[in-house]
Amino acid sequence: MNASHRYFSPCPSHGFARRSVDLAVATVACAVLAPLMLLIAVALMLESGWPFLFVQTRVGAGGRPFRMYKFRKFAVRCSPNGLPLTVARDSRMTTLGRLLATTKLDELPQLWNVLKGDMAVVGPRPESLAFADCFFGGFETLLQYKPGLLGPAQAIFRHEAYLYPQTMDPVLFYREILFPAKARIDLSYYPKRTIASDVVWMIRCFLAILRAAPAGENF
């Protein structure tokens, strides 16, 4: 189902104060992490060539689509129409891609999305168009909030790729189990969020990223 014409709904203002925090955090992060991002881009080019970025249309605030940026984890030859999820030991990932996925460094280019205003630092994860039709039965309320780089669901499902059972289709598992679980977590947080609580989740997400990878994960 195409989100580009079904979900255009009014969304509350992100707020000047929260937007100011987003800009400050993203600007500082870009300045501090610029050498690392350059190193990753060069390493990806040396490993498997151009492009080093993965660009995908995601569902944004009010259901409006936007182009989200990530460092590329998969081999260049992989079809963009393949499985719309990343599972553990995904054969499409390159050696460097597995490292980026484990450390979440593949998400760094989304700082540009934050600077542009497509995303916030803290917000629900933006879904791909393949799962745009999951926003129904109350879950469409999430589209009132600007999608984020970090947040409660991102921290709690830090190792989401390892949750998919081998006995069930991953897309079906995501639709029926993971998406509703993450949506309920976010819906319990965002209606009563504060800037202070957002800062707490920034810290919690950073600490979650630093935790050891699940057993069996390797590069």
In a domain, 219, yes or no: no
Number of domains present in the structure of the chain = 1
Range of the structural domain that residue 29 is part of: 3-210
Phi, psi of 122 (to 5 degrees): -115, 125
pTM value > 0.85: yes
Q: How far apart are CA 144 and CA 98, in angstroms?
A: 33
Tell me what pLDDT residue 1 has: 43
Tell me what pLDDT residue 89 has: 86
Tell me what pLDDT residue 12 has: 60
In a domain, 215, yes or no: no
pLDDT along the chain (219 residues), means of 10: 48 81 97 98 95 95 96 86 87 94 94 97 96 96 96 92 93 97 97 95 87 49
In a domain, 103, yes or no: yes
Distances (CA, A) of 202 to 22, 59, 78, 120, 147: 11, 22, 33, 11, 14
